[in-house]
Structure 1
Amino acid sequence: MYQLIIGAIAVVIFTALTLLIWLGGHQWIDATLRAELIAVSQQEQQISGALTLYRQENLGSSIGTDAVLLAQLHLGGYLRDVPPGAWSVSPDGRRMSRQLDGQTAASCARMNALVGAGAVCPPCDSDADKSVPICQQP
Structure 2
Amino acid sequence: MYQLIIGAVAVVIFAALTLLLWLGGQHWADARLRAELVAVAQQEQQIGGALTLYRQENVGSSIGTDAVLLAQLQLGGYLRDVPPGAWSVSPDGRRMSRRLDGQTAASCAHMNALVGAGAVCPPCDSDADKSVPICRQP
Q: TM-score under structure 2 normalisation?
A: 0.89
* Matched residue, 1:132: none
Residue 15 of structure 1 is matched in structure 2 by 15
Number of residues paired by the alignment? Answer: 131
Deviation at 1:102, TM superposition (A): 1.4
1:78 matches 2:72 = no
Deviation per CA, 1:20-56: give whole Å up to 9, x if none: 1111111101100000000000000100110011001
Corresponding letter in the other structure for 1:64? G
Contact 1:89 1:96 in 2 (8 A): yes
For the residues of structure 2 that align with 1:86 and 1:54, how far apart are their CA atoms?
Answer: 21
Matches within 5 A, 1:30-41: 30-41=30-41
Q: Compute the displacement of 1:16 (Å).
A: 0.4
**Residue in structure 1 matched with residue 44 of structure 2 by the alignment:** 44
Shift of 1:137: 2.3
Deviation readout 1:83-121 (Å, 9 max, x if unpaired):
001111122111211110111222111110011011112
Question: Once the 2 structures are TM-superposed, how far is the Cα of residue 2 of structure 1 from its aligned partner?
Answer: 1.3
What is the deviation of 1:136? 2.1
- List gaps (5 residues or longer) in structure 2: none
Kept in 2, the 8 Å contact 1:123–1:136? The answer is: no
Aligned 8 A contact 1:65 1:91 in 2: yes
**Aligned pair in 2 of structure 1 residues 78, 38: CA closer, same or farther (>3 Å)?**
same
1:60, CA displacement in angstroms?
Answer: 3.4
Sequence identity percentage: 84
Q: Provide the rounded CA distance (Å) in 2 between the counterparts of 1:41 and 1:80.
A: 17
CA distance in 1, matches of 2:116, 2:110: 10
Alignment-derived partner of residue 105 in structure 2? 105
Match of 1:60 in 2: 60
Match runs of 1:18-29 below 5 Å: 18-29=18-29
Moved more, 21-30 or 116-125: 116-125
Contact 1:88/1:98 (8 A) holds in 2: yes
Secondary structure of residue in 2 paired with 1:97: strand
Report what 2:135 is aligned to: 137
Equivalent position of 2:114 in the other structure? 114
TM-score, normalising length: structure 1: 0.89
Please give the alpha-carbon distance, in whole angstroms, between the structure 2 residues aligned to 1:67 and 1:87: 7
